[in-house]
Copies of this chain bind each other. A is one copy, B any other.
Amino acid sequence: MGWEPGIVSALMRLGVRLSESEEKDVFVDSITLFVTLLCGCIIIGHLLEENRWINESITALIIGLCTGGIILLISGGKYSRILEFDEELFFIYLLPPIIFNAGFQVKKKHFFRNFMTIMLFGAFGTLVSFSVISFGAKEFFEKMNIGFLDIQDYLALGAIFSATDSVCTLQVLNQDETPFLYSVVFGEGVVNDATSVVLFNAIQKFDLSQLDSKIAWQFVGHFVTLFISSTLLGMIVGLLSAYIIKKLYFGMHSTDREVALMMLMAYLSYVMAELFDLSGILTVFFCGIVMSHYTWHNITDKSQTTTKHTFATLSFIAETFIFLYVGMDALDIEKWRFVSDSPGKSVGVSTVLLSLVMLGRAAFVFPLSFLSNCTSKSKNNKIDLKQQVTIWWAGLMRGAVSMALAYNKFTRYGHTQQPGNAMMITSTITVVLFSTVVFGLLTKPLVRWLLPSSSHHSHGDSSEPSSPKSSYTLPLIAGEGDSEGRPNGNTIPRPTSLRMLLETPGNCVHYYWRKFDDAFMRPVFGGRGFGRDISGSPSSSPDEMSLH
């Protein structure tokens, strides 16, 4: 490998430099090492792509662990990480590109068709999981005589361990083969991230030591307001970007300015949400959806290709960076020193938390699937047991969001001084490492066993015209991801009977939304068929390309 000498020399320099403690040089050293490791992760990840077990997250995590070990050896057991885990770095720079790209590349057709299922799993499911973990942690930890946690800490633990990390599963699921499963796992992941962060912030803010119904209702009200206003802000910024690019750039396109404006306005939506104490994750996700529906159709072909791949690349780099960092941070000696006095207790805590994570997820995936199956009349919409297990499994991994929230709650200025807090941090690291590596290694074989790619589980897919539902659903949602285009919306048939309207209120809403979209939104904000006067091959949506 050509890059290994670079790592070794950088590490050797690092060992020398740390004793000299020249701050600026250590900074450049760290960046060099990190960039080198990122390159290594990409190359090795590419080489291992066909491997049966490993995926890119695990590669980055293991490379991070190894590097941490080497630094630990070179520095004589003093250091394992070279950059402090910085919440600011994570929430301000690394998370926004990942979530924005998620919104930008999601197959909107499937996302909105399964919107209710996604919200049920993502928002309500996370609340169930949160309750199970909080309550379970309180019961077990009090029995284990870990008495330094108060009610707020238990609730925070619930929120921390409700944040799933479905990146690993999404790398295995195929968006084309299992569109329903993909959109549910994907959508649930995003809504879940947002829900956990919002929950966590709400817990930090409210004094929940005397929980009465008034405070509970305030809490719920706060939660709902945050949810709706964050979504609205994202949509407004997205529409603004579409409007600006459509109005200003008419007949006078400039690729670099278009790309720059899209990148900056996407980021603007996130920091504005943070500024107004909203959920930046939700805001930037919906900004991504609106941008891919309107703005993306107003820019040149070159800009379309560039934005599509740039956003995916930035997201990819940020993801790799996070896993690499979590791996390097795991060996930090300072945290482990506190828990080395009571290793049994530490292992117990991690085991309890891991079991609660599995239990908490089972507590909503199977009942909600059963509920969903009962209300669904079409046989096509039923979620069979194998799919339920896949959904359950997809949310068992815990990742960077859990880490960031745990650091926020249990450390001050990056250091873990209290033994109790140190134990919570090490337990979080243990759960994250174990779930990502062990569950992650099992994901590829499990998914292949549960969902053999030969039998296409095209659940609810529009390619099955046999069901009564899809006979009119198809035209309603066509034109979003299909190649035929839809220059004017007059070809949409109206629902023909009241019975059909009552049976499928979601589709009815969708139908009127499409009418509104064609009559008002697209002419104003652009979109497919309205964006540019440049003719040529019909442009497809950014969600039509695969992620890698």
The distance in angstroms between the C-alpha atoms of A313 and B300, with both chains bound, is 14
The distance in angstroms between the C-alpha atoms of A313 and B3, with both chains bound, is 28
**B24-A271 in contact (CB<8A):** no
The segment from A35-43, A418-426, A521-529, A534-542 found at the interface with B is A35-43
A47 interface hit (Cβ, 8 Å): yes
**B310-A42 in contact (CB<8A):** no
**A257-B88 in contact (CB<8A):** no
Beyond A46-B254, A306-B309, A313-B263, whether A35 also contacts B271 by CB under 8 A is yes
**A313-B268 in contact (CB<8A):** no
Give the residues in chain B near A499, CB-CB below 8 Å.
none
Which of B46, B256, B263, B317 touches A264 (beta carbons < 8 Å)?
Answer: B317
Give the residues in chain B near A316, CB-CB below 8 Å.
256-257, 260
Proximity bits, A240-263, B CB within 8 Å = 1, else 0 = 100110001100101111011101
The distance in angstroms between the C-alpha atoms of A484 and B469, with both chains bound, is 55
The distance in angstroms between the C-alpha atoms of A27 and B2, with both chains bound, is 40
Instruction: Give, as a whole number of angstroms, the nearest-CB distance from A312 to chain B.
Output: 5
A28 interface hit (Cβ, 8 Å): yes
Give the residues in chain B near A2, CB-CB below 8 Å.
240, 243-244
Interface size in chain A (residues, C-beta < 8 A): 59
A347 interface hit (Cβ, 8 Å): no
The distance in angstroms between the C-alpha atoms of A35 and B92, with both chains bound, is 13
Beyond A24-B88, A256-B316, A313-B260, whether A268 also contacts B35 by CB under 8 A is yes
Which of B29, B248, B259 touches A310 (beta carbons < 8 Å)?
Answer: B259
**A28-B305 in contact (CB<8A):** no
A residues apposed to B, CB below 8 Å: 2-3, 6, 10, 13, 24-25, 27-29, 31-32, 35-36, 38-39, 42-43, 45-47, 49, 88, 92, 240, 243-244, 248-249, 252, 254-257, 259-261, 263-265, 267-268, 271-272, 274-275, 302-303, 305-306, 308-310, 312-313, 316-317, 547-548
Given contact pairs A42-B257, A305-B306, a sample of 17 additional A-B residue pairs in the complex whose CB atoms are under 8 Å apart: A6-B268, A28-B275, A31-B92, A36-B268, A38-B264, A39-B268, A43-B248, A43-B261, A45-B257, A46-B249, A46-B252, A254-B548, A256-B312, A259-B313, A260-B317, A306-B308, A310-B310
